[in-house]
Amino acid sequence: MPEPTPSPLGTAAPTAATPVGRTKRSSYPIEHFVADVDETPVRATDSTVSDAAPRSLWGEAWRSLRKQPLFIISAILILAVIFVALFPGLFTNEPPNENCLLENSDGGPAPGHPLGFTVQGCDILSRVVHGTQSSLTVGLFATLGVVLIGGLIGALAGFFGGWVDAVLARIGDIFFALPLILGAIVVVQLPVFQQNRNVWTLVVILVTFGWPQIARITRAAVIEVRNADFVTAARSLGVSPLGALVKHVIPNALAPVIVIATISLGTFIVAESTLSFLGIGLPPDVMSWGNDIFSAKPSLRSNPMAIFWPGLALSITVLSFIMLGDALRDALDPKARKR
Amino acid sequence: MSSSISSGGGRRAARNDTPARAASGGVQPLLELRDLAITFSTANGDVPAVRNAHLTVMPGETVAIVGESGSGKSTTALAAIGLLPANGRVSNGSIIFDGEDITSASEKRIIELRGSSIGMVPQDPMSNLNPVWKIGFQVKETLRANGLPSGPQDVAKVLSEAGLPDAASRANQYPHEFSGGMRQRALIAIGLSCRPRLLIADEPTSALDVTVQRQILDHLDTMTEELGTAVLLITHDLGLAAERAHKVIVMYKGQVVEAGPALELLTNPRHPYTQKLVASAPSIASRRIESAKKAGVATDDLLAPAAARGPSLDKVIEVEDLTKVFKIRGNWGRSTDFTAVDKVSFSIARGTTTAVVGESGSGKSTVAKMVLGLEGATSGSIKFDGVDITTLGRKEMFDFRRRVQPIFQDPYGSLDPMYNIYRTIEEPLRVHGIGDAKSREKKVRELLDQVALPSSMMQRFPNELSGGQRQRVAIARALALDPEVVICDEAVSALDVLVQAQILNLLADLQADLGLSYLFITHDLAVVRQIADHVAVMEKGRLVEQGTTDEVFDNPRTAYTQALLAAIPGAGLVLPPEVA
Amino acid sequence: MVWYIVRRFLQLIPVFLGATLLVYFLVFSLPGDATAAICGERGCTPAVVAGLREQYNLDQPFWIQYLLYLKGVLTFDLGTNFSGRPIATIIAEVFPTTAKLAIMALVIEAVFGIVFGLIAGLRKGRIFDSSVLVLSLIVIAVPIFVLGFLMQFLIGVKLQWTNPTVSGDATFTELLLPAVVLGLVSFAYVLRLTRTSIIENVNADYVRTATAKGLSHRRVVVVHVLRNSLIPVVTFLGADLGALMGGAIVTEGIFNVNGVGNTLYRAVLNGDGPMVVSIVTFLILIFCLANLLVDLLYAWLDPRIRYA
């Protein structure tokens, strides 16, 4: 039991106006327990500074990223694919289009031709290696295009709201009603494009029908950041609306856009190959995995390997971008970032 | 023992006087935690959340666990009902409920105990009801799971017991059709529906407005008393704990540092942490100021220091008939007007603090936004040194911004996570083109020094700082432009009690040193009592009462202000002024 | 509720008009002879060109052209295709097969996606979860035509469990393999969506409260976790129904299914412009209806929307 304390009312007797004390009294004896102060030291209020080096958010994301097996695998794969696309000559000595002998048509593996031959009698390995470039170029530039256009439209819609948002959102909805492949089919068969079929026109088509997704993601991310107190604080410092958008809102809204952009890089590579596979993508003289799958289609039963190898290369490339996107999502997750 | 308690708690007197009960030394505790340790496994290894915790709850007794965030108070309570998060486990000790060790009980046995023997009222009424099921359904399944009759009339009975009017038809509504207070009543109904012997109430009202909070706690008190339910109340508010509980347990960094009868702990805190808590808790401090004034004791040392307390005629801000009307889009393209701020007039004398107090939806934050020039006024004027800022052009507005700066509530949201501390504080200087890189750095160092942060912190990022430190950085940024007025929008509401006290002191010191004027927007009257010179009370967009802090607290003229004052947790406590 | 449906319906009208206008604009207003666009690479005889100019009112101003076209769409008079058959009849002929295929795919992806996603979500971080996640990534990454050919080759040609191609009757058993291929990618998305949603909801406050009420584990999972987690999943499935009906071009091509997608593909290859425009318009309509369906499902599942 504690020492009896002096009556708290010792110095001031309650007047009539004093409310009656409302503390409850238990019917059971209650011990006054005090923990040993040595065992429960009171630390200085509110101190967290450690000696560790300062860590920015990107720094922290990078630290968690480089520990992830998913990231390591996908990063290595992507670097390898880029390397192959840049220096195809290092991986095969066979020229992809010459030396195609009809007598080799659909032939199996032979010395110097480890993966066998296509229906035209070309070396499969060489075609797969040389096809990397166009697939990657289309994917990369289409992604760049949608991030610029979709990102800009989404950011403006999200930040300014009101009628700007309403108009831009409706336009996005209209393009959304035409799925990527469907829209591309309509456009690709037009004479303008039939006469100018190449990597760049394909990029333009993919960007035209692909931007609404990034716009939606950016808009949502910007709206989330727009109302943050630090943006209000910047505005009350005298930063202009556009300044606040560029300096504070966009950098903080970037994470989900990066994630989706990485994944859509894979999606665009698939879209290119799907169109090529349908015979309406890249022209037949451009080497691409989709074109090779398209031309191997008729002899599927006799030579499935002619489809298998470009299909494998395509799948691995797309898989590595999707895995990278997944790994980035984990590292940049805004929920985990809060504290 | 009884001598240490001010006066017999009126409503409990009858029970206290029952001799058989009073002498019940042999009664078995309802809940007993012995040497409890709880560990969380995280990516960085095992983290102890609770160590050597021990507490007993006797049948029918209300026990409060008080602590700051991260003290382990909720974790301890959740362990008692077997609801630790998936990565948490009891690593030592035992939890004995009614003689039975729960830590070794089977999952099946724990499910049997939940609801019927141990009930729970959770913290946030907004997220604790499933949004896709009707209220009635959520009560009904509780009754059925515990083998009680669950017809519509049973559901209605349970709900009306918890003080929900018109229960039978309310049962057919969804949670989003309920107000926060009504949802909390539904949760209390669910928690008590199966007549548990122990109710775990985890901050049951901290998400609600103070007046609603008061009603709900009163009702909970009455119900548990009638049913003879023991309550384990988790709260961060020492005043609330002292007012509502027989026994108070103080937890700090996962350990129980002190436990005892509620008032005993307030009047005679022994552990240094409890002493700090008693000294800092706004509800206690404001109570003490009132007591001291009644006793005729000087209160200066209890109030935050300020430069000039004398009435100043120099008004830095004069707000007149300020009105803000929002258009709300309704069905079929109709839009209705919503008057968020309705003809509000007040003024701030230079070098003093004016508090605008109100509950959620009172329009107090809209007032702050308009005074900051972030939101246009529908009508009325805001005069700053005699110049109406509602009519300023772009250039004048830009210059005006140097003179009024805000500090916001959420220390996690008010700093850009991508900016390090140096860039954060330097930004206002850069935006206004003040000085060169070198002089700006000097100024940032000075500012950090003013808010008592080491200059080594300049290269750090907000995510590495605690809540209080972030709020200091936000203050430094607000001071960078040498403003005359600082608008604190709930600036300390999100902070733990001790940190809150530190920041309030810092603000007061800065006011004394720099002659700042504060517009303090808050829902917390206890804080107002400590720092404000002048108080304006807002209710539903209107200013219902204003005056000096003493006037408003001593002689509240409107019923609304009276209700607000009565709702401050611990308002019923009578405390000796000399306790500190 | 009524207001909500009406509003969603009204919002779809500008989308439908805008999308058809976009298609119409692309086909008839981009540089190049519009009739050449319709005729495709083959080119048309002058008589056909003249006929087309009249049929598509190409001598009229653009807006009149579009309005006349729209009138045709609304009265189900889609004109005739390259070989003179009424387009509406052709669509009516092939649509049932595509609808059957899409619904089968939808059922497959919904059932397997939700079940696998639920188990993975409840066992987050365990071996089942990790392997299902990797599997779903692979399914998403491997393009549908590679997957389609692989499965056609393995199951249809090597194992001979089913016919590698679908006959004109398009029976249930024949459509099973194409439906699996068609639904495979969406299956992976459904699985991942369900899993994420389950993980989020398992930690929701109201789930903890439900547990504290004394409900059994099974009841908490089914009534509180699963029910709430299905809201985004069902929304996705509704939108996917529209996508499956339009996106079956590749799958129908591989398995030679005589459906909308294949008809569209043949029209593209034949340069049958009127057919392409009409089918795309039809698919936009399907897309809009599917979106309306999603809105209804959403309102049915989430009372907060219903009374908004």
Q: What is the pLDDT of residues C194-247, one digit of tens each?
A: 999 999 899 899 999 999 999 999 999 999 999 999 988 988 898 888 888 776
Give percent above pLDDT 90 in chain A. 22
| Closest-CA distance of chain B to residue C14, Å | 17
Contacts with C85 (C-beta within 8 Å, 6 or more apart), sequence order: none
How many angstroms separate the CA of residue B305 from the nearest CA in chain C? 42
C107-122 residue pLDDT tens: 999 999 999 999 999 9
- Cβ neighbours, 10 Å, residue B393: 7
What's the CA gap between A208 and C30, in Å, rounded?
14
Best mutation target among B402, B574, B578, B579 (most A Cβ atoms within 10 Å) is B574
Angle at B251 between CA B197 and CA B122, to 5 degrees: 45
DSSP B80-130: TTT---TTEEEEEEEEEETTEEGGGS-HHHHHHHBTTTEEEE-S-TTTSS-
B293 in reach of chain A (CB within 8 A): no
Q: Distance, in angstroms, between C152 CA and closest chain A CA?
A: 10
Q: Is residue B128 less than 8 Å (CB to CB) from chain C?
A: yes
Per-residue pLDDT for B23 more than 60? no
Those of residues 461-500 in B touching chain C at CB distance below 8 A are none
CB contact under 8 A, A22 and B477: no
- If you ran DSSP here, which 8-state letter would residue B405 be given? E
The mean per-residue pLDDT over the stretch B357-365 comes to: 88
- Cα pseudo-dihedral A53, A58, A62, A68, rounded to 10: 130
CB C149 within 8 A of CB A307: yes
Residue C104 CB contacts under 8 Å (≥ 6 apart), including other chains: C172, C175, C176, C179, C183
Check if the beta carbon of residue A155 is closer than 8 Å to that of residue A250.
yes
Distances (CA, A) of B430 to A70, A228, B420: 42, 21, 15
Cα A154 from Cα A169, distance rounded (Å) = 8
Q: Are C91 and C282 in contact (CB under 8 A)?
A: yes
- Mean pLDDT, all residues of chain A: 80
Please tell me which chains touch C, using 3 or more CB pairs under 8 Å as the contact test: A, B
User: Distance between CA A23 and CA A304 in Å, rounded?
Assistant: 85
Torsions phi, psi for B308 (to 5 deg): -125, 115
* Lowest mean pLDDT, pick from A45-54, B441-450, C187-196: A45-54
Which of C:40-69 have CB within 8 Å of A? 40-41
| C1 chain-B contacts, CB cut-off 8 A | none
d(CA B486, CA B404): 6
Q: Which of A63-77, A212-226, B26-40, C36-50 has the lowest mean pLDDT?
A: C36-50
CA angle in degrees (0–180, nearest 5) for C266-C267-C270? 85
DSSP 8-state symbol, A110: B
B144: nearest CA in chain C? C215
- Put simply, the chain B residues between 333 and 372 with a CB less than 8 A from any chain A CB are 372
Are C110 and C235 spatial neighbours (Cβ–Cβ below 8 Å)? Answer: no
CB neighbours of residue A52 within 10 Å: 8
Range with the poorest average pLDDT among B149-153, B400-404, C42-46, C87-91: C42-46
Average pLDDT, integer, range B92-117: 91
Per-residue tokens: A1: 């039991």
Residues within 8 A of A (CB atoms), C 234-263 only: 243, 246-247, 249-250, 253
B10 close to A (CB below 8 A): yes
Which pLDDT score is estimated for B21?
Answer: 37
Distance CA C17, CA A191 (A): 25
Average pLDDT, chain B: 85
Test mutation, A37, A40, A55, chain B, max B CBs within 10 A: A40
Asked if residues B475 and B506 have their Cβ atoms less than 8 Å apart, the reply is yes
Residue B165 CA to residue B159 CA, distance in Å, equals 8
CA distance B566 to B212: 11
pLDDT of A6 over the 60 cut: no
pLDDT for A19: 33
Q: Answer whether C214 sits within 8 Å of B194, measured CB to CB.
A: yes
Strand order in the sheet with B353-357: B404-407, B485-489, B517-522, B353-357, B534-539, B542-548
Residues A46, B499: C-beta atoms closer than 8 Å: yes
- CB atoms under 10 Å from CB of B307, counted, come to 16
Does A73 contact C at CB distance below 8 Å? no
Residue in A closest to C11 by C-alpha: A170
How many angstroms separate the Cα of B112 from the Cα of each of A236, B105, C233?
A: 56, 11, 33
Distance CA C221, CA C199 (A): 11
Question: Residues 92-151, chain B: which have Cβ within 8 Å of A?
Answer: none
CA–CA separation, B49 vs B71, rounded Å? 8
Give the model confidence (pLDDT) of B240-287 as tens digits: 888 889 999 999 989 999 999 988 888 889 999 999 888 887 777 766
ipTM: 0.81
Q: What is the mean pLDDT of residues C130-146?
A: 88
* Distance to chain A for C266, nearest Cα, Å: 10
- In the numeric block, the tokens 């907000």 are attached to B462
Sheet strand arrangement including B31-42: B45-57, B31-42, B88-97, B100-101
* Closest alpha carbon within chain B to A40: B257
How many other CB atoms sit within 10 Å of the CB of residue C108? 18
Listing DSSP states for B413-431 in one string gives TSS-TTS-HHHHHHHHHHH
Report how far Cα A294 is from the mean position of its chain's Cα atoms.
Answer: 29
Distance separating alpha carbons of residues A128 and C177, to the nearest angstrom: 29
- On the CB side of A100, how many CA atoms lie within 13 Å of its CA? 16
Question: Nearest-CA distance from B362 to chain C in Å?
Answer: 24
How distant is the alpha carbon of residue B291 from its chain centre?
Answer: 23
CA distance C221 to C227: 8
- Cβ under 8 Å to A: C residues 276-295: 276-277, 280, 283-284, 287-288
Q: Does B267 touch chain A (CB under 8 A)?
A: yes
Q: What is the mean pLDDT of residues B186-208?
A: 90
Please list every residue in chain A whose beta carbon sits closer than 8 Å to the beta carbon of residue B401: 236-238
Contact criterion met (CB below 8 Å) for B407 and B491 = yes
Question: What's residue A128's pLDDT?
Answer: 85
**What are C284-288's contacts with CB under 8 Å, separation 24+?**
C284/A177, C284/A178, C284/C16, C284/C19, C284/C20, C284/C23, C285/C16, C286/C242, C286/C245, C286/C246, C287/A177, C287/A179, C287/C19, C287/C242, C287/C243, C287/C246, C288/A177, C288/C12, C288/C15, C288/C16
Q: Which chains sit next to A, with 3 or more Cβ pairs under 8 A?
A: B, C
CA gap C37, C58 in Å, rounded? 12
**A315 in contact with C at a CB cutoff of 8 Å?**
yes
Q: By three-state DSSP, how is residue C270 classified? A: helix
- Confirm or reject contact between A307 and chain C (CB < 8 A): yes
- Please give the structure tokens belonging to residue B111: 């499910």
Residues 6+ apart with CB under 8 A from A166: none
Confidence (pLDDT) at B545:
92
What does DSSP assign to residue A127?
A: H
Tens-digit pLDDT profile for residues C36-64: 555 555 556 777 677 766 766 666 777 78
User: How many A/C residue pairs have CB atoms within 8 Å?
Assistant: 125
Which residue on chain A is closest to C41 by alpha carbon?
A: A191
Q: Which amino acid is at B117?
A: S
Comparing A76-85, A193-202, B535-544, C174-183, which segment has the lowest mean pLDDT? A193-202
> Is the Cβ–Cβ distance between A279 and C269 less than 8 Å?
yes
Backbone angles phi, psi at B393, to 5 degrees: -80, 180
B39-95 pLDDT, tens digit per residue, is: 998 877 888 899 989 899 999 899 999 998 888 899 999 999 989 988 889 999 999
Tokens coding C302? 């989430």
* Contact check, Cβ <8 Å, B10/A42: no
